[in-house]
Chain A
Amino acid sequence: MSEPRIRFERVSLEFPTAAGPLRVVDDVSYDIHEGEFVAVIGPSGCGKTTMMNMLAGFQRPTSGRVLLDGREVAGPGSDRGVMFQEYGVFPWLTVRENIAFGLTLKANRVPAGEREAIVERYLGLMGLAGFADAYPKHLSGGMRQRLALARAYAVKPQFLLMDEPFGALDAQTRSNMQNLLLEILAAERKTVMLITHSVEEAIYLASRIVIVTARPARVREIVAVPFAYPRDEAIHEAREFGELRSHIRDLVMDEYRAQQGQARAVAFSE
């Protein structure tokens, strides 16, 4: 097999607290290869987001290494597009200016003509053309999410890191966004890491799923998703989908209960 693009190599992370160091991520190792879509799933508050933050370059592991094409991650960069839980669209810029933002930076500056063309392209792809000159305050949650995706895509990142990107959307919008993501990934392939707590979302989108334990996050199991791309809604009905779903759900529920147990133990000790 070829060299992995992303490698978590015995990664641990501790936060200093008043009661001593709190271990959030514990000896995690896994690889993500070119063009793979890896979903990381686990109970909320278990340290999934911390993993993504280390890959994005916002946090450094206490021990172990996070490698990007064999080199240790030194800080954030436009090779890794990030979609945050809160959309993070810039309220002081119009939709058009939001998409163009990355292209006006020194790191990925392009001539004005090319910039226009890229912006127009993503306005169209994301269904935002009618709102090009509106400010984000006029957009719905789903549209803000599409804008964040367009802005991340505009600078042509090789990687896409997503932290529960659709968590705040209603079910209908959420499923539309999932399909839009699959479409745009089919058109412009990226290597993707998705943090989610939805088992269905992980199976529907990912090629591999990393199930992590309650805090501190360890790798509990890694499963391959047996469906080829392009995918459509019909796979939700497939027998393998259901089997995979109940297998993963059992693991996640198990960890969720462990997490609840921890929380209760803390509550009693206080």
Chain B
Amino acid sequence: MGDRLKRIGLVAAPWLAIVAAWYGVRESGLVNSALVPAPHAVLAKSVDLFARQGLAWDIFVSTRRVFIGVAVGIALAVPVGFLIGWFRSAKAFADPLVNFFRALPPIALIPLVIVYFGVDEPAKLVILIYASFFAGVIVMYEGVSQINPLFIRVARTLGASQSEVFRKVIIPLTVPHILTALRVALGVAWATLVASELVAAQRGLGSMIQNASTYFLLDVIYVGIICIGLVALLMDLALRRLSTRFLAWQDRVGA
């Protein structure tokens, strides 16, 4: 019981420290306190937004966009990344190509996305899929190209056919890389969300922040940022849980 309390304390301490520092900055007079809404005011604002402005719907809309963007992006990145990683010659020409597209900030592509995909839901998803795909595909092919060929040899000497090697050796060795790709893509997708919701979004956390900045509603901006952080954190925790379950065999899990 004491251990448990200690653990909760350890987890809570940095968060409490941030809130304390937040109050500290506000009270110190270094910054005009009108520019730094107090934590309790932000909390009150979030309750208000939940109750009267449908904050839950904004969270849902944004989460759904990230979810679909990552799911589609990774569904494409897994086979493509696998093939690039598996055939070394493919990696030589794919690597610069992938890095070129990955280096482009999604926000710079928004004008083009609007031209080709309009301003509706598909446009926002395209940006998220783009970001997830290029983040994930690199993780996949770097991982797959490092699969130790020894395991394939061992399986062959035990009598495995080509398809058995694929099902019983290559797939289990690919799963960790798929999970890593998911985690990386989730991070990138949340970072890209605000950019994607710049495209004439009505709802969503990114558009909420955008609209609030137009009217200089600092407390709403704070609420939006905190919500993005919290949802991203929860998704990452869920993925880590999944990793610990499926990857108990690895030397380091959840690291």
Contacts and interface: CB of A to CB of B under 8 A. Distances in A.
Nearest to A91: B249
Interface stretch (A15-23, A36-44, A77-85, A224-232): A77-85
A92 interface: yes
Given A84-B150, A91-B250, A92-B172, A101 B157 contact: no
Contacts of B248: 135
B216 interface: no
B150 A107 contact: no
Nearest to A76: B156
A93 B173 CA distance: 11
A88 interface: yes
Interface residues of A, number: 30
B30 interface: no
Contact of B161 (A56, A81, A104, A106): A106
Contact of B160 (A84, A105, A137): A105
Q: Binding site of B, secondary structure by majority: helix, strand, loop or mixed?
A: helix
B17 to A, nearest CB: 36
Interface in A53-100: 56-58, 75-78, 80-82, 84, 86, 88, 90-93
B158 interface: yes
A102 interface: yes
B159 A78 contact: yes
B154 interface: yes
Contact of A108 (B159, B169, B249): B159
A93 B155 CA distance: 13
A27 to B, nearest CB: 27
Interface string A101-137: 1101111100000000000000000000000000111
A57 B156 CA distance: 10
B168 A88 contact: no
A218 interface: no
B164 interface: yes
B87 interface: no
Contacts of A151: 158
Interface string B149-189: 01101111111110010001100110000000000000000
B249 A93 contact: yes
B204 to A, nearest CB: 39
Nearest to A53: B153
Given A84-B150, A92-B173, A93-B249, A101 B155 contact: yes
B160 A107 contact: yes
A46 interface: no
A92 B158 CA distance: 17
A108 B159 CA distance: 7
A155 interface: yes
Contacts of A90: 151, 154, 169, 172
B164 to A, nearest CB: 6
A88 B154 contact: yes
A82 B160 contact: no
A78 B164 CA distance: 14
B251 interface: yes
A88 B156 CA distance: 12
Contacts of A77: 157, 159
A107 B159 contact: yes
A4 to B, nearest CB: 21
Contacts of B160: 105, 107
Given A91-B250, A135-B248, A135-B249, A58 B153 contact: yes
Nearest to B171: A92
Contacts of B169: 90
Nearest to A85: B150
Contacts of B155: 101
A42 to B, nearest CB: 22
Contacts of B164: 105-106
A76 B249 contact: no
Interface of A: 56-58, 75-78, 80-82, 84, 86, 88, 90-93, 101-102, 104-108, 135-137, 151-152, 155
22 contacts: A56-B157, A58-B153, A75-B156, A76-B153, A76-B157, A77-B157, A78-B158, A81-B157, A81-B158, A88-B150, A88-B151, A88-B153, A90-B151, A92-B172, A102-B159, A104-B168, A106-B159, A106-B164, A107-B158, A107-B160, A135-B249, A137-B249
Give 7 nearest A-B pairs by CB, closest first.
Answer: A78-B159, A107-B159, A102-B158, A76-B156, A82-B157, A88-B154, A135-B249
